[in-house]
Chain A
Amino acid sequence: MTGGSGWDRRRVLRAGAAALGGAGVGWSASATLSHAVAAPTAAPREVTVITPSAGSETVAAIGTHQTGIDTAPQAHLSLIGWNLHPGATRQELSRMMRLLSDDASRLSSGEGALADTEPELAKNPSRLTVTFGWGPRVVRDLVPAARRPRLDALPSFSRDRLDDAWGQTDVVAQVCSDDPVTLAHARRMLVKDASSFADVAWMQHGFRAARGSAPDGTTMRNLMGQVDGTVNLSPAAPADVPLIWAAEPAAFAGGTCLVVRRIRMHLDTWDRVDRIGREATIGRRLDNGAPLTGTDEFDDPDFSAADRFGFPIIDPASHVARARSADAAERFLRRSYNYTHDRAGGDGGDAEDSGLVFLAFAADPGRQFVPVQQRLDEQDRLNEWVTTIGSAVYAVPPAPAEGGYVGHQLLEGDGSRTEGS
């Protein structure tokens, strides 16, 4: 290519240099930007507008069940685990429950507790609920035999690495609210009022998406990024009712049992698992939580669908396959929360731990939960990246009668039935 129409070698070379240099800049900028731009989340179909009235929302205490079980999960959780002072009697437990139930009832309706030093902090209940439970030792030693519900301690599972710091306690309160300020205040009132009867053994804090960041009812995501809780009992479904609410003994009718498992995630090694590996480990897609054999989150997994090599598309060792049971009774109402826990100054690993405060309600945990956990303990691809570090189970009494406190039917009877005590 020589002169003539204004083109000479030098101009071609300069033009090429400019074009390639410009393209190089463009490419670098695009590569940088595509890393910086977060993966867009699915747009909510409707926008939830947070008005001042969201703070005034309360959860009504009606019916035979304590609130906070079939309540749509609020954004924040504090689980408080107490051990009664040594030698505590049934009377002392009932005095403690009377005080705490009164606090819970007032705070949940937006009033300060009795002798509340910051009553203004109770003004936005934001769907505050407080749910009380008792551990096996309390049930065995302090509840009269005729009214005593069945509550077995959870067995040990071979892969658990239980830390006493998160172990079984005598009493638990599950305190939930959409507002963390309300929650902190409620927590402090309960702890203050329980202090003459019991010592705090642990507090487990957890969180879900803030109210309004996704449409109400959206299944939560855990800190591994997975849609978590798709398959769940529904208190509105008649077939599920006997799996959630206990029916006997009569004093316990309308109560339930709560399983608490603190599950630590190993996100440092999980970081090495690519997207395919993550989906194969669980058996569900990451983008919308659909099973690998389906398209929508609530599609039933097809465990017999095979790939072209004849292997099941959903790995039989995957979490979803191992958790599923042919026995429809092996199900429970999950109501878990994410947790992070500072580890600054720790062994040089991550600055904070991440995990799940796994909460499950079931009328009979031994029948409904334990076999599932046994199966997962034996084999679950997810086990490589999670370890259970805390485990506890509680009997959750029914709602108190008018003027009563949580658990009074069990400790004192309701007086209208002929029961021994």
Chain B
Amino acid sequence: MSRERRVVGALVVAVLAFIALTGTMPPASAHVTFVGSDPSDGARLRTVPSRIVLQFSEELSPPAAVVLTGPEGSSAEAGKTRIDGRRVLVDVDLADGASGEGTYGVTFRVVSVDGHPVSGQVTFVVGDGPLEESPGDSGAAEVEADTPSDPAAADPRGQARPAESDAPISWGQIQVGVPIVLFSLAALLAFLGRRQGT
């Protein structure tokens, strides 16, 4: 086999292997994401906020679950929690006279009107003390990436599952984009090849 053919063969095999490995494609889905909060994650405040706002990318469906954890001996509690379109509003009840200084965690799970759940946690600190690790998790705003059951697997629990994409590019886009890139490169090379003199 000529060296040229071997190169062509190797390139094709490499690309087809990649296709085979990524063969089970989860459906492309645009789903709700956590956009931000007020107070924002990691914020430092002078006083305990009277209300916490969690912002999401899509309309939400009740009920929303929000848990407020505070510093040791804190007398701040999550009060009325309600959904307002794409936001969750949580009233914070603080006992009269309490300073409320320390680190707070706001843990949430909400569901969009398209049924998709998203969980996460935000922390903020009141006063001059350090922003501590909140109970149960590290301080960064984390969003849970749930993994669905794999429709093609006989025993999905024994297999690595594709992570539900929080990535900005969907599989649908990749499926279309890769051949376009490949064909474009092929056309470019063919064009260049023709122009080159021997």
Q: Does B1 contact A (CB under 8 A)?
A: no
- Contact partner of A24 (CB less than 8 A), chosen from B147, B179, B198, is B179
**CB-contacts of A17-41 with B (<8 A):** 17-28, 30-31, 34, 39-40
Interface residues in B75-132 by Cβ distance below 8 A to A read: 107, 109, 111-117, 119-121
B32: min CB distance to chain A, Å: 9
Distance (Å) between the CB of A330 and the closest chain B CB? Answer: 22
User: Does A417 reach chain B (CB closer than 8 Å)?
Assistant: no
Q: Evaluate contact between B186 and A17: CB separation under 8 angstroms.
A: yes
Q: Which of A7, A27, A34, A384 contacts B61 (CB 8 A)?
A: A384
Are A272 and B109 in contact (CB-based, < 8 A)?
no
Cβ of A287 under 8 Å from chain B: yes
Distance in Å from the Cβ of B81 to the closest Cβ of chain A?
Answer: 14
CB-CB under 8 A from A269, the residues of chain B are: 114
Determine if B153 is an interface residue (Cβ-Cβ < 8 Å).
yes
Distance in Å: Cβ of A150 to nearest Cβ of chain B: 36
Question: A286 near B: Cβ within 8 Å?
Answer: yes
Q: How far is the CB of B133 from chain A (nearest CB, A)?
A: 14
Identity of the chain B residue whose Cβ is nearest the Cβ of A311 in the assembled complex? B109
- B3, B148, B190, B197: the one contacting A7 at CB < 8 Å is B3
Instruction: Flag whether B154 is at the interface (Cβ < 8 A).
Output: yes
Q: Which of A6, A15, A34, A273 contacts B114 (CB 8 A)?
A: A273
A166 to B48 Cα, complex, angstroms = 56
Partner of B178, one of A27, A310, A315: A27
B198 and A8 contacting across the interface, CB-CB below 8 Å? yes
Determine the distance from Cα of A17 to Cα of B184 in the docked complex, in whole angstroms.
Answer: 9
Whether the pair A310, B192 counts as a contact (CB closer than 8 A) is no
**Do B11 and A20 have beta carbons less than 8 Å apart?**
yes
| Interface presence of B46 (CB below 8 A) | no
Q: Contact between A278 and B115 (Cβ–Cβ < 8 Å)?
A: yes
Cβ-defined contact, A27 with B116, below 8 A: no
Instruction: Report whether B7 and A276 are in contact in the complex, using a CB–CB cutoff of 8 Å.
Output: no
**Is the pair B183, A14 in contact by a Cβ cutoff of 8 Å?**
no
Q: A20-B185, A276-B116 are in contact. Are A287 and B151 (CB under 8 A)?
A: yes
With an 8 A cutoff between CB atoms, is B175 at the interface? yes
Given contacts A10-B198, A24-B179, A30-B19, contact A5 B3 (CB under 8 A): yes
Whether B65 is near chain A, meaning CB under 8 Å from some CB there, is yes
Q: Smallest distance from the beta carbon of B67 to chain A beta carbons, Å?
A: 7
| A22 pairs with B196, CB closer than 8 A | no
In contact, A309 and B121 (Cβ under 8 angstroms): yes
- Contacting pair B189 A20 (CB below 8 A): yes
Chain A positions 380-399 with a Cβ under 8 Å from a chain B Cβ: 381, 384-385
**Complex formed: what's the CA distance from A6 to B151 in Å?**
50
Whether A39 lies near B29 (C-beta < 8 A) is: no
Residue of chain B at shortest CB distance from A270: B115
Q: Determine the residue in chain A with the shortest Cβ distance to B2.
A: A6
Which of B16, B117, B182 touches A315 (beta carbons < 8 Å)? B117
Interface membership of A277, Cβ < 8 A = yes
Indicate with 1 or 0, residue by residue over B1-18, a CB within 8 angstroms of chain A CB atoms.
011110110011001100
- B38 contacts chain A at the CB level, 8 A cutoff: no
Q: Are B190 and A23 in contact (CB under 8 A)?
A: no
**B168 interface contact, C-beta 8 A:** no
In-complex Cβ contact of A277 among B114, B137, B176, B193 (8 A): B114
A14 touches B189 (CB 8 A): yes
Given known pairs A309-B109, A309-B136, the reply for A20 and B182 (CB within 8 Å) is: yes
Distance between Cα atoms of A30 and B178 in the complex (Å) = 12
Residue of B11, B29, B153, B196 touching A23 (CB-CB under 8 A) = B11
Write out the residue numbers on chain B whose beta carbons fall within 8 Å of the beta carbon of A379: 63
Q: Which residues of chain A from 230 to 279 have a CB within 8 Å of any chain B CB?
A: 269, 272-279
- A319–B12 CA distance with the chains assembled, in angstroms: 48
B193: A residues at CB distance < 8 A: 9-14, 17
Q: A287-B150, A309-B109, A384-B61 are in contact. Are A277 and B117 (CB under 8 A)?
A: yes
Say yes or no: is A285 at the interface (Cβ < 8 Å to chain B): yes
Instruction: For the complex formed, measure the closest distance between the CB of B156 and the CB atoms of chain A, giving whole angstroms.
Output: 6
- Please tell me if A402 contacts chain B, counting CB pairs below 8 Å: no
Q: A24-B186, A307-B119, A381-B61 are in contact. List 17 more A-B contacts (CB 8 A).
A: A9-B196, A10-B193, A19-B8, A20-B183, A23-B12, A23-B182, A24-B179, A25-B179, A275-B29, A278-B115, A280-B116, A281-B115, A288-B149, A309-B121, A310-B67, A311-B107, A385-B115
CB-CB nearest 3 A-B residue pairs: A277-B115, A24-B182, A13-B193
